[in-house]
Amino acid sequence: MNRDGVRIRHIADTDWDAVAALEARAYAELGLSEGKSALRSRADASPETCFVLDVGSRPAGYVLALPYPPFSYPDLRRAEEPAAPAQRSGNLHLHDLVVAERLRGRGLGQRLLDHLTLTAGARGFERISLIAVGHSERFWSARGFTAHPGIAPGGYGANAVYMSRVDETS
C-alpha cells in the first residue's frame, strides 16, 4: 500500500462483483455494459495485464487490457474465446479503464494508465490501442493516443473512436 492508501494489484477472484459494478456504472448509460462473465473472459485472456485499483481496502477502479492485433478489438456482444497461444502482434488493447465516480479527477486513472504502460513495455508490447467512447477522445489524445479515423469500431456507440499510441517504454 502506498502512503496515500492507493494500491494497484492484479485482479483477484473476490474482486469481480466490484469490478462489474464499477463497469456497469461507467458504461450502462452508454449501452455498453458487458456484465461480469464477459469482463472476466477478457481478463482471463491476459491476467498479467489486468489490474484493480484499491483505495483503502476497497476496489475503486480497474483496467482490463489484452493482446489484440492492431486495428482489431473485442466484440462487446460476446465473451473472449479461450485463446490458443496467439501470434504476437506487439499490440496491447486497453479494453476498459474505470475509476469510481467519487474519486475521478484525482489522477487515479493516470496512475492506472502509467502502471499499464510500464507493464506493457516490460512485456514487449510496442503499441497500446483503445476505443474512446462517450466523447472521451480528448481525454485519450491528451495522453498521447492518436485517432485512426479509417477504423469504425462497430458496437461501441455512434461516437466511438479507435486510437493508439506507440509505447515509449518498450
How confident is the chain (170 residues) per 10-residue block, as mean pLDDT? 81 96 94 94 94 93 95 91 63 95 88 96 95 94 94 89 80
Q: What pLDDT is stored for residue 1 in this prediction?
A: 53
**pLDDT score for 97:** 96
Q: What is the pLDDT of residue 107?
A: 85
Helices (H), the chain: 16-27, 36-45, 108-122, 137-141
Q: How far apart are CA 93 and CA 162, in angstroms?
A: 10
pLDDT for the residue 168: 61
List the beta bridge partners of residue 55. Answer: 6, 58
Q: Is the pTM of this model over 0.95?
A: no
Residues in the chain: 170
**Confidence at residue 142, expressed as pLDDT on a 0 to 100 scale:** 95
Buried b (16+ CB within 10 A) or exposed e, 101-125: eeeeeeebbebbbeebbebbbeeeb
| Predicted pLDDT of residue 5 | 84
Which pLDDT belongs to residue 119?
Answer: 96
Domains of the chain with bracketed CATH: 6-166 (3.40.630.30)
pLDDT of residue 85: 45
